[in-house]
Amino acid sequence: MASPAFLLYPTTGHPNPASLSLVPPLASPAIRSLRTLRHGLSIPSGRAMRRTPLLSPSVVPKTAPPPNCERHLTLLEYVAKGGADVGDDLAVLLTHLQYACKRIAALVASPFNADVGRIPEDSGGVGSLSSSGRDKPKPLDILSNDMILASLRNSGKVAVMASEEDDIPVWISDHGPFVVVVDPLDGSRNIDASIPTGTIFGIYNRLAELDHLPVEEKAQLNSLQSGNRLVAAGYVLYSSATILCISVGSGTHAFTLDHSTGEFVLTHPSIQVPPRGQIYSVNDARYFDWPDGLRQYIDTVRQGKGQFPKKYSARYICSLVADFHRTLVYGGVVMNPRDHLRLVYEANPLSFLIEHAGGRGSDGKTRILSFQPVELHQRLPLFLGSIDDMNELESYDSIQQKINPGYDV
């Protein structure tokens, strides 16, 4: 496998976006220019020099301010000894995982994949379910799943991968120290409208005490670990920027993909979700199906009559990663009151992230990370957000929606 630090570019003239050329970063003139700029050695020339205004010595600082080195850390530098120092095994795993996510970013952004992302007419359409009760996978879901599985195999550090797209976990290696649970492409139903999508993942230690069990049994039990045993979790947002947000148990940090270097660069170190936001994110079209407690809470905060005397705004993208990312940055609450979101692939990793940013994740009554999963594709209500907003929301008697009047979205 090529080094994950290599850049991905569509092969010139090739109609298939899955065919990507690997270009070493050092071969890129843009990278050499960026490095020159960082060292203060770039001198404008020609027409650019003539348009550059000359600064008076009085406005030029005698000593340039020291660079914020932390903001220039790459993801790989962060997980190495210069940052989180997570250990060689986890660093290698994260290297391969971020490589897969770069490939997915190129896949979803490619103009040649418009047809790939569409749902076949005979598939039952948006919201259709498979015989196992899961959403039917779309072509981009399957491709993303395959990319992640291939990268995890190549890492040599993963024993089992459990995916939202697979009925059962995939056993990879008897010697891998980690278990990975993943939703490969969350929000893919919105791909035709160019609405942001995302990848969600959680990482556990392999339970060595289960090694004596048959493969299927130990794969299942390793994948059903409680969220409080997570060693790392994260998501990747594919939007106007590609952002990888991760926690390895010491804060929550976001890295933005620098397309000139092909590296995820630390842009949001030590994220702290505001204790109180002013945004709630939920599908308001389902208002009349909600229980009384949830309707009362929403009515109260949007009138500015709650514990926070400002009127709340509604912001709903219907893409969990996008709605969660906004909540993590701005505060507030993102929620789905129905038994709809998956404990293993979505609720646990996102709750891990928001707790390490000072927030809270619950099913409306109980902390998410305290649940013991009993099924691989187990669903539950999910509420994530600022600590003060979550406490106020949970103070209402009934916020979990127990009925489903026939809609799947």
Active-site amino acid positions: 135, 141, 164-165, 183, 185-186, 346
Q: Beta strand 279-281 with 333-342: parallel, antiparallel or unpaired?
A: parallel
CA atoms of 293 and 26, how far apart (whole Å)? 58
CA atoms of 22 and 154, how far apart (whole Å)? 17
Residue 54 structure tokens: 């000359």
Provide DSSP, 76-123. Answer: HHHHSTTTT---HHHHHHHHHHHHHHHHHHHHHH-GGGHHHHSPPGGG
Q: 389 CB contacts (<8 Å, ≥6 apart)?
A: 276, 277, 280, 308, 331, 332, 333
Closest CA to 363 of 377, 352, 349, 379: 379
CB 173 within 8 A of CB 154: no
Region of 270 please: left (phi>0), alpha (psi -120 to 50) or beta.
Answer: left
